[in-house]
Amino acid sequence: MKTCSRHLQKKDSHVTFLLNTDREASLSQKNETIRLLDSSGRSTSFEGSVWSSEYQTCGATFAVMCTPKNPLSYDKPRNGRSSTVFLLVNTMIGSGILNQGQVFAEAGILSTLVMYAIAGSTIWLGAQLLIQAGLANQKLDYSELTNHAFGRTGDILIDLSVVLSCFGALLSYLTVISGQLARVIVDCVGSSDPWYTQEVFLLPLVTSLLILPWCLTRFYGHFVAISVVSISSVTSVMLMVLIAGPLQASEHAHEALVWFDVVGSLRKFGSALFALGFSYAAFHTFNSMKRKTEASWRTVTAPAVLIGVAMCIATGLTGYLCFRQSTMGDILNNFTGKNFYFVKFLMMLHLILYIPLDFVVMRFSLCKLFQADLHKMSLPAYIFLTIFLLGFTCLVVMLMYWSGIHEGVGFGYILDLTGGITGHWWLSSFLVLFIQS
């Protein structure tokens, strides 16, 4: 067995140390044997159970996950580049991708492509400026950096913007999940009269059983594993649009295409920003990386933004070309019948696994607004806060349904309003924040 030689300390019944090969690991006191390859290709064995680590060998990344993380753990994550790319893409590609067909329909094809170029490049540039300013001032937190640049007023405005953005995102995800699930059940039973087909019944059920457990996770960077599953699910939805959409295109082939619409562009720019935005989670992501440098940050944000833009264009443009004027606010609603149930369930799975990312950021910023330290909060208070915030968000969506607003319309309103208000604020604040810092 190899002997640890660099560093040894105990914390929360775990032993953290560095091997001779400069590999970091976290061991429990279980007597299990883990075998890894060091940089020279030789086998290295030691006793213990790896909590979660990544190792670089011959340029490839190997993720070792022998036991699942405790969601209530105070242990901070350390993610490699590939894991961080998955985390960022999953942060961008949520329910917003479902509305991009309608963006093309109302703004026009050329206008939308220009919007993606502006939104993608500006969001990427803004993320670089944030991290540069944070590193230069040793303030690796969004609100702390704005407090340093603008004082308490800037701190409050940023945290408030993040809370509103994430809250709007959560509203849209819960709207899609409950709406799609209700549609599938109604199709199966052939009637919308039974109580168990109503969104106001299904939404609390799904939220409490499938979403709440993930939202108890303390740190944003611990969502790498579910991000991989989530991105795989939404990729299946994108493939459905690309493959099944053209099969239904003949019904709408006679309808004229919209190439450019100024009014539509102004109205839908918020949705494009919403679909690609991740800057509110920039510091959360950066702080979860192993190598916290500007160069490492550029190598993960550039491919993540390109992937996000490509997925939005592929889904949105194909959806619009296939359904033209009949393109709905939620592109899934254009695909009816039992043949599409499985893909719709995959989209619901994607959003269920996506919600915790935005929820963790929202909860953190809300605590910062009230100057509370979330990471030092007692366990009962932490659990109560999580249940209360998620329950309140669920209640707002239920009130929307009770007021008579159905899924498709409500979904479009939420995206336009949320992306428009908070997105424009972020774009204008990035450069000013960088200059002030």
CATH of the domain at 188: 1.20.1730.10
Does residue 70 lie within any of the structural domains? no
Residue 287 and residue 142 share a domain? yes
Q: Are residues 289 and 423 in the same domain?
A: yes
In-domain check, residue 313 = yes
How many domains does the structure of the chain reveal?
Answer: 2
pLDDT of residue 330: 80
The Cα-based distances of 71 to 213, 314, 356, 431 in angstroms read 8, 35, 11, 36
| 202 and 98 belong to one structural domain | yes
Which of 24, 39, 64 is at the close of a domain? 64
CA dihedral of 241, 244, 250, 256, whole degrees rounded to 10: 0
Six-digit token pair at 144? Answer: 């702390």
The answer on 14 and 128 residing in a single domain is no
24: enclosing H helix or E strand? strand 24-27
Helices (H), 211-261: 212-215, 224-244
Are 93 and 12 contained in the same domain? Answer: no
CA distance 84 to 377: 27
Residue 127 — left, alpha, or beta (φ > 0 → left; ψ -120 to 50 → alpha)?
A: alpha
Which pLDDT score is estimated for 59?
38
- Write out the chain's pLDDT in tens, 437 residues: 433 433 333 333 333 333 333 333 333 333 334 444 444 444 444 434 333 333 333 333 333 333 445 555 556 777 888 889 988 998 888 778 888 898 999 999 999 999 999 889 988 988 898 898 889 888 888 888 888 877 888 788 888 888 887 888 888 888 888 888 988 898 888 888 888 888 889 999 999 999 999 999 988 888 888 888 888 888 888 998 899 888 877 777 788 889 999 888 888 887 887 788 888 888 889 988 988 999 999 999 999 999 999 999 999 999 899 898 888 888 888 888 788 888 888 888 988 988 998 899 899 999 988 888 887 888 899 999 999 999 999 998 888 888 766 655 555 555 555 554 555 445 445 545 555 54
d(CA 143, CA 372): 13
Asked whether residue 75 is domain-assigned, the answer is no
Residues 47, 134 share a domain: no
What own/partner pairs with CB < 8 Å and gap ≥ 24 does 18-22 have? 19/44, 19/46
Pairing of strands 7-11, 14-18: antiparallel
Q: Which of 97, 416, 69 is nearest to 213 (CA)?
A: 69
Dihedral angle, C-alpha 351, 353, 355, 358, nearest 10 °: -120
Domain of residue 47: give its range.
7-64
CA 317/CA 334 separation, integer angstroms: 14
pLDDT in tens, 48-73: 433 333 333 333 333 333 344 555 55
Q: Are the CB atoms for 275 and 93 separated by under 8 Å?
A: yes
Whether 58 and 86 share a structural domain:
no
Q: What are the phi and psi torsion angles at 293 (to 5°)?
A: -130, 160
pLDDT computed for residue 72 by the predictor? 53
Domain co-membership, 142 together with 30: no
User: Looking at the domain assignment, is residue 1 inside a domain?
Assistant: no
Q: Are 65 and 49 in contact (CB under 8 A)?
A: no
pLDDT score of 130: 85
Q: Which residues contact 254 (CB under 8 A, 6 or more apart)?
A: none
Position 69 in a domain: no
2 inside domain: no
> Residues 232, 97: one domain?
yes
Question: How is residue 1 written in tokens?
Answer: 């067995």
Is 364 found in the same domain as 245?
Answer: yes
| Class of residue 40 by CB neighbours under 10 A (exposed 0-12, middle 13-18, buried 19+) | exposed
Predicted local confidence at residue 43, as pLDDT: 41
Helical H runs in 324-406? 341-369, 379-402
Same domain membership, residue 96 and residue 31 = no
The answer to whether residue 76 is domain-embedded is no
Residues 118 and 55 in one domain: no
In a domain, 74, yes or no: no
The Cα-based distances of 143 to 154, 160, 266 in angstroms read 8, 10, 29
Share of the chain above pLDDT 70, in %: 75
The secondary structure element, H or E, covering residue 45 is: strand 43-47
